[in-house]
């Protein structure tokens, strides 16, 4: 990340010690050095000792500024140079003028009684009232303020000063708020509020900052620095305080202005848009500036909040205004964080005359047509009105119109869409080296070790592949080599992947009439719809016994049984966790027939069900092979086959294995990053907590809505059996479809599954929170009422 933090923040950066030179002495000093004779009236000043002085001779008014002891000479010279620059290049702009002393100097030194030396400047006085005083800030004043700042920025163009990159705590390009030394003092409410934003900041925003057009900017355009002509007017007649000036992206100045008025101006997005428009009319913004503007505004407000917290907690007697103003900052931050970024961006663009995007429905229609031509008719889309997604973040995905959807379906984004740790690991390794497994590389070895360490100790050999299909394909191949048989047993309506072999083992999508002789099927252990219903004694064993028939059927076709390939959560069968005894019985039976038990954990693995990382662990069984996929790489294509050293040795005796992409250093880095997140971020606890919310909430919905006949699942994997009639159990396919579409329109993405496609499927990223779950329950309640 290219962040110029420079140095850590210290309390001294925010707490100044203005000089306290006696007024009489200063009056004498002003007369001596500037020939200005008059009474000094003290003015506010956090950093400088300021006074107003009216020259008795000609009635002109000035500001006499005394810098704090130890103030950087470079910083003061920078301000002097800026005001001189404005005087030359923007003479119409009402900013204070530097008044040279009789000796021709822009500043003079004064010695305080304690021996400290201070710089003294005389500036012209700008008449006016602070914008923060007088009538409430309305649109005209806000627009005028932004336009004024743009004029000021324009005037500062071309200014160079060696001190322009000096350390200013408020300089948001430094992103001091991310520093551990600042974060440590941030109050918990604010930490929670900004967790997602801070992650995005590091990932997406700060890396782009150094490439923006930059110059010296004022960086402090707020209502206590801008002057209005009088308390009842909106006309801006001047600006004071150049202490935060810094070399920064030009758009940073506008961001500061928007952020400041977010607090002072009863801020709404409409107001911000008006300010952007007003600024742009004076100083047109570029596309990349418009794109980053909202994030910089958020950054500025978040910085303000962090620095307030830092100051409140690190000084002995924080000024009262810090605690008084803090709530307004948090309110502005909450309000702006809640805005949809894409919408804000579009509004800013529109305000700057950028031609808006074509209406989305035209876009989508055209994209559909092109897709059908380019991809052919085999590809399907979800929903009556397909969703056109363009980005994701955590449990949220966003469409091209900027609408957000709560992702209640996509298990692949296991630790959340675009998790920064995963993205960073991917980017880092991709920028370093990507090859294959025929060279030594630490990543692939460490990853295999870490992954197998999560399994029972028998399972210690790991093949890395790219998809769940490949994993199952290899698993079947291994099982065939080891057993010397061909036959594969799967459930009716199973899904395991899409290669020629695995496609045939995916009976839910394969024409029954073309089923090869080496496939035999068993009914899924469906206690709601199957032959044995909930409550049947030994239901697990009763369903499991079907494997004996399947083995016998293979034998009748002169096929030995090579494998029992079992999706441990029977996803395509409508989400069914195997009843007690089921896996133990079937594993025993397949082994007795000389075959291997392959646990397909592509759906059920990685804590999907909460209490166990691998769902086979609910049973007293160690599979011969475990296959992994989908959630393993948080969106990156990774698959794995894990087996015992003995099985791997038998396979290796006949075949070596190579996979161009499987196990490459980038994929391994991604896989490890996912494991890091699982280990560090309480993902399992989250699954358990959110799962509990779903469990009780879904039960309540089932009691309320007759369409829901059965609720089954665990953790963050649930199926709702939608039926027309509880007595006949007739699948309500159209209603299930309607529910899915209603939820889509309401901002929730869910799926459907089961032999009849009547089971509404909830299978969100593992970071789906209890609050997300409550939100979904409310959405489901609305959809079920209307379906
Ligand atoms: C249980 C199961 N196994 C395997 C696969 C195949 O994985 P992939 O699509 O990565 O090939 C799937 C995909 O949905 C699946 O649900």
pLDDT digits (tens, 9 = 90+) for 114-172: 999 999 999 999 999 999 998 888 889 999 999 999 999 999 999 999 999 998 888 99
Quick one: which atom of ligand 1 is closest to the CA of 572? 16
What does the pLDDT average to over 210-224?
A: 94
Report the side by side order of strands in the sheet with 117-124.
40-43, 49-54, 61-66, 117-124, 108-111
Residue nearest to atom 2 of ligand 1 (CA): 496
Those residues whose C-beta lies under 8 Å from the C-beta of residue 548, and which sit 6 or more positions away, are 589
Q: How confident is the model at residue 363 (pLDDT cuts 50, 70, 90)?
A: low
Helix, strand, coil content of the chain in percent (nearest 5):
45, 15, 40
Mean pLDDT across the chain: 93
pLDDT, position 341: 87
Residues 6+ apart with CB under 8 A from 147: 236, 278, 279, 281, 282
pLDDT for position 1: 33
pLDDT band at 6 (very low <50, low <70, confident <90, very high): low
In this predicted structure, the answer to whether residue 412 has a pLDDT above a threshold of 80 is yes
Q: Is the pLDDT of residue 76 over 60?
A: yes
Q: Does the pLDDT at position 360 exceed 50?
A: no
Q: Is the CB of 605 under 6 A from ligand 1?
A: no
Contact yes or no for 6/167 (Cβ under 8 A):
yes
Please say if the pLDDT value at position 361 is more than 60.
Answer: no
Tokens of 250: 């030009």
- Global pTM reads 0.61
Between 343-347, 563-567, 637-641, the lowest mean confidence (pLDDT) is in 343-347
For residue 630, give the ligand 1 atom closest to its CA.
Answer: 10
Both structure tokens of 152: 């000021």
Q: Which of 196-210, 564-578, 749-763 is least confident?
A: 196-210
Q: Which of 77-86, 184-193, 516-525, 727-736 has the lowest mean pLDDT?
A: 184-193
pLDDT (0 to 100) of residue 24: 94
Ligand 1 center to 733 CA (angstroms): 23
Predicted local distance difference test score (pLDDT) of residue 220: 94
How far does CA 244 lie from the centroid of its chain?
A: 30
User: Is the CB of residue 637 below 6 angstroms from any atom belonging to ligand 1?
Assistant: no
- Beta carbons within 8 Å of 755's beta carbon, 6+ residues apart: 492, 493, 508, 573, 574
pLDDT higher than threshold 90 for residue 494: yes
Instruction: Tell how far the Cα of 272 is from the centroid of ligand 1, in angstroms.
Output: 47
Mean pLDDT of 595-623: 98
Q: For the residues 254-267, what does the mean pLDDT come to?
A: 84
**Listed range (80-89, 173-182, 218-227, 517-526) with the worst mean pLDDT:** 173-182
Nearest atom (ligand 1) to Cα of 604:
1
- Mean pLDDT within 490-494: 98
- The pLDDT score that the predictor gives to residue 5 is 46
Select from 141, 716, 679, 620 the least CA-distant residue to 408: 716
List alpha helices for 158-268, DSSP H: 180-183, 188-200, 250-264
Residue 362 has pLDDT above 60, yes or no: no
Euclidean distance between CA atoms 118 and 35, whole angstroms: 19
By most ligand atoms within 8 Å of CB, the mutation choice from 470, 602, 627, 751 for ligand 1 is: 602
Band (pLDDT 50/70/90 cuts) for residue 426 is very high
- Say how far apart CA 108 and CA 594 lie, in whole Å: 97
> Quick one: pLDDT band at residue 358, thresholds 50, 70, 90?
very low
User: pLDDT at residue 434 above 50?
Assistant: yes
Q: Find the mean pLDDT for residues 710-717.
A: 98
pLDDT at 592 over 90: yes
| Mean pLDDT, residues 535-540 taken together | 98
pLDDT of 263 strictly over 50: yes
Residue 265's pLDDT band, with cuts at 50, 70 and 90, is: low
User: Nearest residue CA, atom 15 of ligand 1?
Assistant: 496
| CB of residue 494 inside a 6 A radius of ligand 1 | no
600 within ligand 1 shell (Cβ under 6 A) = yes
Evaluate if residue 38 carries a pLDDT over 70: yes
Task: Report CA(502)–ligand 1 centroid distance (Å).
Answer: 10
| 300 C-beta closer than 6 A to ligand 1 | no
Measured from the CB, is residue 467 less than 6 Å from ligand 1?
Answer: yes
Predicted confidence (pLDDT) at residue 3 exceeds the cutoff of 50: no
Interval 609-627 mean pLDDT: 98
For the residues 580-584, what does the mean pLDDT come to? 98
Residue whose Cα lies nearest atom 3 of ligand 1: it is: 496
- Reported as a pLDDT band with limits 50, 70 and 90, residue 400 is confident
pLDDT of residue 47: 84
């Amino acid at each position: 990340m290219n962040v110029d933090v420079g140095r850590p923040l210290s309390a001294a950066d925010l707490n100044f010690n203005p000089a306290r030179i006696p007024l009489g002495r200063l009056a004498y000093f002003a007369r001596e050095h500037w020939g200005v004779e008059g009474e000094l009236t003290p003015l506010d000043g956090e950093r400088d000792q300021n006074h107003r002085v009216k020259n008795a001779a000609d009635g002109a008014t000035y500001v006499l500024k005394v810098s704090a002891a130890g103030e950087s000479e470079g910083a003061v010279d920078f301000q002097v140079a800026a005001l001189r620059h404005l005087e030359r290049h923007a003479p119409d702009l009402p900013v204070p003028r530097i008044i040279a002393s009789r000796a021709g100097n822009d500043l003079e030194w004064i010695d305080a009684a304690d021996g400290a030396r201070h710089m003294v400047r005389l500036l012209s006085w700008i008449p006016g009232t602070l914008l923060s005083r007088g009538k409430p800030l309305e649109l005209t004043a806000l627009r005028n303020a932004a336009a004024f700042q743009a004029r000021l920025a324009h005037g500062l163009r071309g200014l160079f000063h060696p001190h322009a990159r000096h350390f200013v705590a408020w300089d948001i390009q430094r992103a001091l708020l991310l520093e551990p030394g600042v974060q440590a003092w941030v109050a918990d409410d604010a930490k929670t509020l900004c967790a997602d934003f801070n992650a995005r900041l590091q990932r997406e925003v700060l890396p782009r900052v150094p490439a923006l057009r930059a110059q010296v900017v004022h960086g402090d355009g707020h209502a206590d620095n801008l002057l209005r002509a009088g308390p009842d007017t909106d006309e801006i007649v001047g600006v004071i305080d150049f202490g935060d000036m810094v070399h920064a992206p030009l758009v940073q100045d506008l961001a500061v202005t928007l952020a400041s008025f977010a607090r002072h101006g009863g801020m709404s997005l409409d107001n911000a848009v008006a300010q952007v428009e007003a600024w742009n009319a004076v100083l047109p913004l570029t596309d990349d500036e418009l794109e980053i503007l909202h994030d910089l505004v958020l950054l500025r407000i978040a910085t303000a909040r962090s620095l307030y917290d830092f100051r409140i907690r690190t000084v002995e007697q924080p000024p009262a205004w810090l605690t008084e103003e803090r709530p307004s900052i948090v309110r502005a931050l909450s309000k702006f964080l809640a805005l949809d970024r894409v919408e804000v961006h579009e509004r800013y663009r529109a305000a700057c005359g950028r031609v808006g995007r074509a209406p989305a429905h035209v876009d989508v229609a055209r994209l559909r047509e092109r897709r059908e031509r380019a991809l052919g008719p085999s590809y399907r889309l979800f929903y009556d009105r397909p969703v056109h997604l363009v980005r994701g973040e955590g449990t949220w995905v966003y469409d091209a119109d900027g609408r957000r959807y709560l992702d209640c379906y996509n298990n692949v984004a296991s630790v959340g869409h675009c998790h920064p740790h995963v993205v960073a690991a991917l980017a880092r390794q991709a920028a370093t080296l990507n090859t294959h497994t025929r060279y030594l590389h630490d990543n692939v070895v460490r990853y295999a070790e870490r992954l197998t360490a999560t399994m029972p100790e028998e399972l210690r050999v790991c093949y890395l592949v790219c998809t769940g299909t490949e994993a199952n394909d290899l698993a079947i191949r291994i099982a065939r080599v080891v057993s010397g048989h061909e036959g594969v047993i799967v459930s009716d309506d199973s899904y395991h992947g899409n290669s020629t072999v695995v496609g045939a083992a995916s009976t839910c999508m394969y024409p029954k009439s073309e089923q090869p002789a080496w496939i035999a099927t068993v009914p899924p252990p469906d206690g709601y719809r199957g032959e044995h219903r909930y409550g049947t004694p030994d239901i697990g064993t009763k369903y499991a016994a079907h494997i004996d028939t399947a083995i016998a059927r293979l034998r009748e076709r002169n096929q030995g049984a090579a494998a029992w390939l079992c999706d441990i959560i029977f996803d395509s069968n409508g989400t069914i966790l195997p009843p007690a005894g089921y896996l133990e019985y079937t594993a025993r039976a397949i082994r007795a027939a000389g075959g291997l038990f392959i646990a397909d954990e592509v759906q059920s693995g990685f804590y999907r069900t909460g209490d166990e990382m691998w769902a086979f662990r609910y049973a007293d069984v160690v599979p011969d092979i475990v296959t992994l996929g989908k959630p393993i790489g948080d969106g990156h294509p990774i698959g794995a086959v894990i087996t015992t050293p003995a099985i791997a040795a038998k396979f290796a005796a006949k075949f070596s294995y190579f996979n161009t992409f499987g196990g490459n250093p980038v994929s391994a880095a991604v896989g490890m990053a996912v494991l890091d997140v699982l280990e560090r971020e309480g993902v399992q606890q989250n699954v358990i907590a959110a799962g509990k919310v779903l469990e009780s909430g879904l039960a309540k919905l089932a009691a309320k809505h007759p369409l829901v006949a059965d609720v089954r699942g665990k953790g963050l994997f649930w199926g709702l059996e939608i039926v027309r009639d509880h007595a006949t159990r007739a699948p309500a396919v159209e209603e299930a479809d309607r529910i899915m579409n209603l939820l889509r329109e309401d901002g929730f993405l869910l799926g459907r599954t089961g032999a009849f496609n009547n089971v509404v499927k909830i299978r969100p990223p593992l970071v789906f929170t209890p609050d997300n779950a409550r939100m979904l329950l409310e959405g489901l309640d609305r959809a079920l009422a209307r379906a």
